[in-house]
Amino acid sequence: MSSTAHMHGGIGESIKRKEDGRFLRGKGNFLDDIVLPNMLHMAILRSPYAHARIKSIDTAAASAKPGVIAVVTGELMAQHKLAWMPTMSGDTQAVLATDKVRFQGQEVAAVVAETKAQAEDALASIEVDYEVLPAVTSPDGAKATGSALIRDDKEGQTDNHIYHWESGDEGTTKAAFAKAHKVIRLHTFYPRCHPAPLETCGCIADVNPATGKTTIYMTSQAPHAIRTVFALVAGLSEQNIRIVSPDLGGGFGNKVPVYPGYVVATAASLLLGRPVKWIEDRTENLISTGFARDYHMTGDLAVDENGKMLALHVHLDSDNGAFFADAQPTKFKAGLFHIVTGSYDIPTAHITADGYYTNKAPGGVAYRCSFRVTEASYLIERLVTNAAIELGIDQAEFRKRNFIQPEQFPYHSATGWVYDSGDYPKAMDVALDKLGYAELKKDVEARRKKGEVTGIGIASFTEVVGAGHGADYDILGLRMFDSAELRVHPTGKAMLRMGTKSQGQGHETTFAQIVAEELGIPAQDVSVEEGDTDTAPYGLGTYASRSTPVAGAATAMVARELREKARKLAAHLLEAAEEDLVWERGKFYVKGSPERSKTIQEAAFAAYTNLPEGMQPGLEGVHYYDPPNMTYPFGTYAVVVDVDKGTGQVKVKRMVAVDDCGVRINPMIVEGQIHGGLAEGFGIAFMQLITFDDEGNCIGSNFMDYLIPGSWETPKFELGETTTPSPHHPIGAKGVGESPTVGSPAAYVNAVIDALSPYGITNIDMPVTSDKVWAALRSKGVTE
Amino acid sequence: MKVTMRVNGVERSGDIEPRVLLVDFLRSNLLLTGTHIGCDTTSCGACTVRIDGDPVKSCTVLAVQAEGREIKTVEGLANGAALAPIQVGFHEEHGLQCGFCTPGMMMVTSALLERNPNPTDDDIRWAISGNICRCTGYTNIVKAVQHAAKLTSAAAKAPAGKEAAAVAGGGE
């Protein structure tokens, strides 16, 4: 047994994880571990070109290869009206290309064979005749006169522009800028990166010809939404579709969308009457599935003579790839980017955004992020540090001067958000204290005088997570609520099922702890299941830090509902009036007579054996929770760097992270999440880059080119916390998994910019690699 | 062609194509799916197993190269219900989240501890620098290995019979 197995496991206890056992023994159940009888294997032929017209596809030779059962092309998919599918942003995406290929790595054909090796071997025998077209690889390229029209399949589409979107108030913002003492501008590019979970994406489609039941094992963060999409798109009857999301080897947003491979494998299984497995290799994952970011941003911050912020204007050009497939709520074209005023009391703001098609992979997933909050947080925090440097005000002091103050909550932001709660000065103070800021600043000054290049970066981020409310937030029209079903068995043990899906976040432990707290059943007696749409209640899945804010709330609510039924049962057993019973975690006792009590387990047994006349038997329930508002986690991160003038190498000396995610259910798991996000933020800031050459060839298509931080590069982290409970969440929790990826990139880069500020350097686009730092220093005449 | 090796102490053989990688032989032929595939380029270490005691990325070894060798995979770490110290360490220090890199991490670090029973944090970071974890930021993996090192040295000092108690547990 685990060293914490004896603990009750209520809220705030760092009990060890219940799910660990199977992973430690190599008995996890990941997608590629599943083998079904009579199973076929599918491999996908992908385009070598970023933009080309398909003149012909000859599959005859491939079809004759050993073990090959079928070769699927776009033409065959078109016969079943499945050559195209809808995206999450109201566009269409090719399942298998019929007319043109529009990005390198696009799906062109698929081979289904008896073995994986046979399927892969046969790909080389498919003859595709391409007419190569000029590639568009950036928004500027997409805008250029005479640039190639990428989406000639869309009626009425005459250029590569996708959308224009605005938020805030243009008039008041312009007026504020007109009377500004100073305007600070930052133009920066948040480059394309990829979540790259260690397990790639894949599925096994199993259409049973005898029963008509379609079971699809799928690496999905949102299995219920996928089921409904498959019903609507493929015309399958929804009760006959079962999506099973097994153990997921990470997700980070990459496993939210529907990918062409899922659709083709399902169609193949339907046509062939046998299970079909498809799983990506790493290159397929990096070049074709949900990328993130790729925002070109220009921010202008207006300030008065006292260093008070007056107004913010931001314009961004979004590079969306060949199909507009951003994973985001329908209402918002640039996700939740308009949270960009961040932690600051800025009276007015105006945001404009334009999206463009390019010959790059589609996606736009929220990589460990709540729908573009990361880009917003990065821009404002970079802009604020740059402004502080330009104004000659200490960057911590400048932030404090402009923070939304604790008494201003609930705070109505200039772009329409209602921040639920926060105490930004407090988180800042804890971070500065941990850092030893005053001493550190002196040290930096002293070392700079000696010619050393060193700096401190701060970021005080505010997130917006936990979507919905369902009236404002939806996925393809499905309201973003979530659910929890709780069954208490006669012996007082319980089973909890939710509409979310863990990818490593520890749901089997954390959610059992909510039940342990609310219903008094020890966490070790509560089993938690997710991911099977035949058994779990409907929910919208796990992304955008929404599991605890939404399904966690549903869990608390259903546990409270069962507790009220248990109260009636206990009253019946104790022959006392309900209102005379006092609840103490795990039992009811009669007011004034604590010896007269019944445990929750006794009440549960009575629900099946000895209940009051007229009461329905059983102790089970389900709650669907539609949150009244988002939650707003926040924090202050601070980074110290040294820069080697000779090589441009940046060394992160310290990383202090103070997070406020409201009430922490399992502090050990929360801290683990923060560690992971800080490491990913480090990777984004310094290493991870998906880029393209002028012909649209993807550079960053494997782990030798797309650099992921390892143990040696990753800095050591110093964590701190404050706790400001969410006022509208049943247990005051806010969600935490994404805060560190949202907040940390700006902190890392700000430290580098602070270090380089004596040389007049104000921006280096991520990833901040040694060669860029070296070139920036050389451009300012630093030669040693 | 026929290939034979000892896997987790048991002689196993199979009839395979010469091009089959060791990781595919373990996963597909022997159904030992605890060894994972994360990258194809020897970059991530999810496929790490031990060959004659050495930690090796099994995506970069042909199954035929393992002919006659002693292979240990994650499935061979525990002794029945009793977890090995490295497994207990990962559980107690929250050294895993999604669990996909964990088998490779444990195979590398169990080899480290056999050679260096008292590693520094930097020794551990260096040992796992060829293994990628996307979830933990490595902080708790380092703690997990230190935890295992302490358990192992405590067990070595303990009187006979106490060892099993020191390494028992760590999961459902």
Contacts of A426 (CB under 8 A, 6+ apart): A406, A722, A724
Are the Cβ atoms of A703 and B128 closer than 8 angstroms? no
Domains in chain A, number? 3
Are the Cβ atoms of B38 and A198 closer than 8 angstroms? yes
Q: Is A769 exposed, middle or buried (0-12, 13-18, 19+ CB in 10 A)?
A: middle
- For residues A340 and A384, what is the distance between their CA atoms, to the nearest angstrom? 12
Same domain, A354 and A284: no
Average pLDDT over residues A667-686: 98
Percent of chain A with pLDDT over 70: 100
Same domain, A314 and A370: yes
Tell me, yes or no, whether A88 lies in a domain: yes
pLDDT in tens, A410-452: 999 999 999 999 999 999 999 999 999 999 999 999 999 999 9
Average pLDDT over residues A481-488: 98
Give me the CATH number covering residue A585.
Answer: 3.30.365.10
In the residue annotation, A713 being an active-site residue is answered as: no
Q: What is the per-residue pLDDT for A201?
A: 98
Residues spanned by the domain of A612: 20-27+482-625
| Count of A-B CB contacts under 8 Å | 190
Helix axes A437-449, A424-435, angle to 10 degrees: 50
Residue tagged active-site, from A192, A368, A372, A497: A368
In the residue annotation, A221 being an active-site residue is answered as: yes
DSSP element (H, E) containing A46: strand A40-46
Are the Cβ atoms of A250 and B142 closer than 8 angstroms? no
Tell me, yes or no, whether A474 lies in a domain: no
Average pLDDT over residues A455-477: 94
For residue A727, count other CB atoms closer than 10 A to its CB.
Answer: 14
Tell me, yes or no, whether A325 lies in a domain: yes
Nearest CA in chain A to B32: A26
Q: How far is CA A158 from CA A50, A147, A161, A217, in A?
A: 20, 11, 9, 40
Contacts of A460 (CB under 8 A, 6+ apart): A342, A343, A381, A399, A403, A424, A427, A428, A634, A635, A636, A637
Nearest CA in chain A to B106: A24
Among A594, A625, A656, residue at a domain's last position: A625
Interface check for B99 against chain A (CB to CB < 8 A): the answer is yes
Same domain, A263 and A296: no
Give the residue among B1, B5, B2 at the shortest CA–CA distance from B67.
B5
Same domain, A643 and A765: yes
In the residue annotation, A193 being an active-site residue is answered as: no
Q: How far is CA A178 from CA A173, A175, A181, A380, in A?
A: 9, 5, 9, 21
Global confidence as pTM: 0.97
In the residue annotation, A524 being an active-site residue is answered as: no
pLDDT in tens, A591-633: 999 999 999 999 999 999 999 999 999 999 999 999 999 999 9
CB within 8 Å of chain B, chain A residues 620-659: none
Give the residue among A502, A613, A632, A534 at the shortest CA–CA distance from A568.
A613
Same domain, A726 and A711: yes
Q: Which chain A positions have a beta carbon within 8 Å of B36's beta carbon?
A: 30, 32, 198-199, 249
Are the Cβ atoms of B92 and A3 closer than 8 angstroms? yes
Same domain, A57 and A120: yes
Q: How far is A460 from chain B (nearest CA, A)?
A: 21
Give the residue among A311, A460, A310, A313 at the shortest CA–CA distance from A397.
A460
Are the Cβ atoms of B101 and A27 closer than 8 angstroms? no
Same domain, A38 and A89: yes
Q: Which CATH class is domain B85-167?
A: mainly alpha
Are the Cβ atoms of A249 and B171 closer than 8 angstroms? no
Name the CATH architecture for the domain at B2-76: Roll (3.10)
Same domain, A572 and A697: no
Helix axes A223-234, A260-272, angle to 10 degrees: 60
CB within 8 Å of chain B, chain A residues 176-195: none
CA A670 to chain centre: 16
Mean pLDDT score across all residues of chain A: 97
Which of A711, A714, A738, A739 to mutate against chain B (most B CBs within 10 Å)?
A711
Q: What is the per-residue pLDDT for B160?
A: 60
Tell me, yes or no, whether A8 lies in a domain: no
CATH 1.10.150.120 residue ranges of chain B are: 85-167
pLDDT in tens, B78-89: 999 999 999 999
Give the residue among A677, A685, A659 at the shortest CA–CA distance from A750.
A685
Tell me, yes or no, whether A442 lies in a domain: yes
Nearest CA in chain A to B138: A711
Q: How far is A331 from chain B (nearest CA, A)?
A: 31
Interface check for B35 against chain A (CB to CB < 8 A): the answer is yes
Interface check for B106 against chain A (CB to CB < 8 A): the answer is yes
- Which tokens is A173 given? 């913002």
Residue tagged active-site, from A93, A104, A221, A505: A221
pLDDT in tens, B37-76: 999 999 999 999 999 999 999 999 999 999 999 999 999 9
